Amino acid sequence: MSDTANPELGKEIVRRRTFAIISHPDAGKTTLTERILRAGGAIQLAGNVRAKGERRRTRSDWMAIERDRGISVVSSVMTFDYGGCVFNLLDTPGHEDFSEDTYRTLTAVDSAVMVIDAAKGIEDRTRKLFEICRLRDIPIVTFINKMDREAQDPFALLDEIASSLALDTCPATWPVGRAATFVGTYDLLNGKLNTLTPLAESDERLTQMREELELAEAALPEFDRESFDAGHLTPVFFGSAIKEIGVTDLLDALVAFGPSPRAQAAENRTVTADEPGMTALVFKIQANMDPNHRDRIAFARICSGRLTRGMKLRHTRTGKSFAVHTPQFFFAQDRHLAEEAFAGDVVGIPNHGTLRIGDTLTEGEDIRFTGVPHFAPEILRRVRLDDAMKAKKLKQALVQLAEEGVVQLFRPQDGAPPIVGVVGTLQLDVLQARLRAEYGVGIGFDSTPFSLARWITGPRDKIEAFTASNRSAMADDLDDDPVFLATSNFMMRRTEEQNPDIRFHDIKQIGIEIG
Ligand code: G4P
């Protein structure tokens, strides 16, 4: 806590727990979410969350994505109280492609719960999401789910996490019984037995547990708060979401040691959560939540202080003032007006396109948060319009969807039709379907000669000279920043060698340069 902190404000902030659940499909994320919400008193939500799980089965067709989105949009943030804390659970997008959307959501959390299927261990998508968390050293709590089924041995699971993710593990609970006889957990951190039914002292499940614990205590590290906070050690919980075993162990642990809102790096300084001045960072935009109104919701994480309804803020990218009249809290299917929100909370701010991903809002200070990057796309396509009459509409729609982060948009400087860039092909399907559904514009995609895009920086005169001699390979991105398009890795390397004064970036980060 900084010296300037107001104690009331500090009290609100330290009880915030903002987290996401990461997992491979089918490991039980939906079921665990539902049980967590139930434990947090939001029982009525269970049905809605379930519906999402069922829809997932036909995820490959767009309608399903759209419906899925319908649900996940409103439940992008789920806020509930538990154990004296205010939890904000941020939903990571359901689709399997790596997407910037997922990355951005993970930039807005203070910790993540990694759900692992006890029979399958670490799977692809878990590993990918874990790596994204690691980039920012996000503290990770592990929940090994489905212990009520045939599972791998707990020692083997702990070992697999440690070796395959290069992450220290320490058991926080230990399973009592296995598969059909799995009945509860022993809480190593508090020395408490939690079983669904009372067990006799002589129960063989207890005997087995004691023997295993002896081994575990001798062989495995103890929980170390510092190491956890640094993202180097994960406490591991065993459970069964479906049987509601281990769910409160997990929540109690997040209350006890889940990180409260962290400091956020800005261009010139780092902002701590308990500073009295309100600051917020927009990490996600969702357009057309209501197809009848072209409204857009910017999801902003409050990074410091307290936001109150009607507050007049400074939008630091444009320097203009921005009044927040209708900030919203999300509660699964419901949205309701937020009268106040504190650092760690996520609010939805309706706007007509003023707010963009990466934008900072403050009470007046001119700062810009860093850490919400754009990644160079791996696939570049030219957009082909089915009906030439709709060119103007397409242009507008592409800008809106690019602002939302669906695709990246590059406008070639030689006036050629726009090029869209994506990291995964699913994004192209989403673009095509949303253009049709929300804007009535039919499109196809043509290949381009380009396969790489790089943002360029350097001395102004060098950039100008470079641009002039490479006009047909230059484009502007949504922020009018120059982008060089290369036809191959070979050409990229050659261009770099020939232009030592220019830097080529595959990540664009607001405020700071990354090579
Ligand atoms: P996901 O969001 O990570 O994709 O997983 P989800 O919760 O949808 O769970 C995937 C499947 O695993 C579901 O079964 C769910 O019921 C089951 N499951 C989740 N947690 C547990 C658990 O602790 N133990 C057991 N045994 N199963 C669990 P399904 O047959 O695909 O769906 P449903 O018919 O149950 O709806």
Q: Is the CB of 94 under 6 A from ligand 1?
A: no
What integer pLDDT is reported at residue 5 of this predicted model?
A: 57
15: in domain:
no
Mean pLDDT value across residues 325-332: 66
Provide the residue range defining the domain that includes 282: 265-370
pLDDT digits (tens, 9 = 90+) for 417-460: 899 998 878 788 889 988 998 899 999 999 999 999 999 999 99
508 annotated to a ligand binding site: no
pLDDT digits (tens, 9 = 90+) for 459-474: 999 999 999 999 999 9
Q: Is the CB of 380 under 6 A from ligand 1?
A: no
**How far apart, in whole angstroms, are the C-alpha atoms of residue 149 and residue 335?**
37
Let me know whether 292 and 382 are in one domain.
no
Residue with tokens 């508090």: 190
Neighbours of 328 (CB within 10 A): 20
120 annotated to a ligand binding site: no
Mean pLDDT value across residues 151-162: 97
Mutate to test the pocket of ligand 1, among 23, 24, 26 (most ligand atoms within 8 A of CB): 26
The one-letter code for the residue type at 313 is L
In this prediction, residue 490 has a pLDDT band, given cuts at 50, 70 and 90, of very high
What integer pLDDT is reported at residue 509 of this predicted model?
A: 73
The encoded tokens of residue 383 equal 């957009």
In this prediction, residue 290 has a pLDDT band, given cuts at 50, 70 and 90, of low
Mean pLDDT value across residues 501-506: 94
346: in domain:
yes
97: in domain:
no
Average pLDDT, rounded, for the chain: 87
Where is pLDDT greater, at 461 or 325?
Answer: 461
The model's pTM is 0.85
Buried/exposed 367-406: b ≥16 CB within 10 Å, e otherwise: bbbbbbbbbbbebbbbbebeeeebeeebbebbebbbbbbb
Return the ligand 1 atom nearest residue 34 CA.
7
**CA 175 to ligand 1 center in whole angstroms:** 19
Q: Is the CB of 241 under 6 A from ligand 1?
A: yes
336: in domain:
yes
Residue 291 has pLDDT above 80, yes or no: no
Let me know whether 349 and 247 are in one domain.
no
Give φ, ψ of 162 to 5 degrees. Answer: -60, -45
93 annotated to a ligand binding site: yes
Let me know whether 248 and 125 are in one domain.
yes
Mean pLDDT value across residues 146-155: 97
Are residues 488 and 347 in contact, defined by beta-carbon separation less than 8 angstroms?
Answer: no
Residue 277: name the closest of 339, 202, 363 by CA: 363
In this prediction, residue 91 has a pLDDT band, given cuts at 50, 70 and 90, of confident
341: in domain:
yes
Where is pLDDT greater, at 3 or 88?
Answer: 88
Let me know whether 430 and 333 are in one domain.
no
Could you tell me which residues are beta bridge partners of residue 111?
Answer: 19
Highest mean pLDDT out of 52-66, 141-155, 403-417: 141-155
94: in domain:
no
Residue 77 has pLDDT above 50, yes or no: yes
Mean pLDDT value across residues 222-243: 97
Let me know whether 63 and 209 are in one domain.
yes
Of 258, 277, 309, the domain-final residue? 258
Give φ, ψ of 409 to 5 degrees. Answer: -115, 130
In this prediction, residue 98 has a pLDDT band, given cuts at 50, 70 and 90, of low
Let me know whether 64 and 206 are in one domain.
yes
Let me know whether 26 and 173 are in one domain.
yes
Beta strand spans in 442-495 (E): 443-447, 452-457, 474-476, 482-486
**How far apart, in whole angstroms, are the C-alpha atoms of residue 168 and residue 212?**
19
Of 370, 385, 402, the domain-final residue? 370
Which are the contacts of 22, defined by CB distance < 8 A and separation ≥ 6? 29, 92, 106, 112, 113, 114, 115, 126, 129, 130, 133
Let me know whether 205 and 275 are in one domain.
no
Let me know whether 241 and 356 are in one domain.
no
What integer pLDDT is reported at residue 102 of this predicted model?
A: 79
> What DSSP state is assigned to residue 121?
B
Tally the domains of the chain.
Answer: 3
**How far apart, in whole angstroms, are the C-alpha atoms of residue 188 and residue 96?**
35
The one-letter code for the residue type at 13 is I
In this prediction, residue 204 has a pLDDT band, given cuts at 50, 70 and 90, of very high
Of 224, 243, 258, the domain-final residue? 258
Let me know whether 291 and 150 are in one domain.
no
In this prediction, residue 507 has a pLDDT band, given cuts at 50, 70 and 90, of confident
Mean pLDDT value across residues 86-113: 81
What integer pLDDT is reported at residue 335 of this predicted model?
A: 58
Residue with tokens 């500090």: 10
Mutate to test the pocket of ligand 1, among 242, 244, 245, 250 (most ligand atoms within 8 A of CB): 242
In this prediction, residue 94 has a pLDDT band, given cuts at 50, 70 and 90, of low
Residue 327: name the closest of 306, 356, 313, 347 by CA: 347
CATH assignment at residue 248: 3.40.50.300
278: in domain:
yes
CATH assignment at residue 427: 3.30.70.3280
Let me know whether 397 and 428 are in one domain.
yes
**How far apart, in whole angstroms, are the C-alpha atoms of residue 250 and residue 255?**
9
Let me know whether 386 and 506 are in one domain.
yes
90: in domain:
no
Mean pLDDT value across residues 11-23: 95
Is the four-CA dihedral 404, 355, 81, 273 of positive or negative sign? positive
**CA 30 to ligand 1 center in whole angstroms:** 8
